[in-house]
Amino acid sequence: MGTFRDKGGLWENADLMELATPAGFARRPADCHAFYNMRRAKVRSCQPNTAHLALAALQQDPRADVTLITQNVDDLHERAGSHHVIHMHGTHLVALCAVCDARWPAPEVMDVDTRCTSCGGPARPDVVWFGETPYHMERIAQAVAAADLFVAVGTSGIVYPAAGLVRRAAKAGARTLELNLEPSKRASDFDDARFGPATVVVPEWVSEVMG
């Protein structure tokens, strides 16, 4: 799947951008559900790529202590074999009650009639929308502060607080590396960088690290 902000990416459509907000969901819940139903169907037909697989292999290496923090809302890291993935922007594979915060596995298709089994409130995808606070920030801050090496893969460097993590890592003494198709907005914050498709640069870097 393309990233949101690539040229031709999903968010080029300002309408969709408006939908990914609590207000957009309140105004147009059916359109919002239709958008996430489409994404859920699409990700179910996708397989983890070589970058996902390489990161899972690194995480499974007993010599490595890897915390995987992702802005992705799909489950491709898990399907590649990664464990304890921190989804800072949630996942559309989980449903969230907009009233009582109950969570359950999202059905393939959600609509305005999808209701919370606890309180009957409207269900929404468990994704962090614009204007909402990302999940697990305390755990992420601890992991970043403890890191020897901070690697950012395939991110625009636009969306905060994720975009600010490189500076926090550097301040705490970590080396920093950007693996990206092209320099991100935060490129000057990194010690090192390698540019190219994630499916190429990530496996190359992982095989060097694992020797």
Which region, judged by CB under 5 A, interacts with Zn ion, from 57-65, 120-128, 166-174, 196-204? 120-128
Say whether residue 103 binds Zn ion (CB under 5 A): no
* Contacts of Zn ion in 134-193 (CB under 5 A): none
144 with 172: CB under 8 angstroms?
A: yes
Which region, judged by CB under 5 A, interacts with Zn ion, from 17-25, 37-45, 109-117, 190-198? 109-117
DSSP H helices, the chain, are 14-19, 22-27, 29-44, 50-60, 76-80, 137-146, 165-171, 198-210
Q: Which of 23, 119, 137, 158 binds Zn ion (CB under 5 A)?
A: 119
Point out which residues pair with 122 in neighbouring strands: 115
Which region, judged by CB under 5 A, interacts with Zn ion, from 25-33, 71-79, 105-113, 115-123? 115-123
Say whether residue 117 binds Zn ion (CB under 5 A): no
Question: Is 83 labeled as catalytic in the residue annotation?
Answer: no
- Rounded to the nearest 5°, which phi and psi values hold at 196? 155, 175
Nearer to Zn ion, 95 or 152 (CB): 95
Q: In what order do the strands lie in the sheet with 192-195?
A: 149-153, 175-180, 192-195
Query: Tokens representing 133?
Result: 């606070």
Q: Report the catalytic residues.
A: 89
Q: What is the binding site for Zn ion (CB under 5 A)? A: 97, 99-100, 102, 116, 118-119, 121
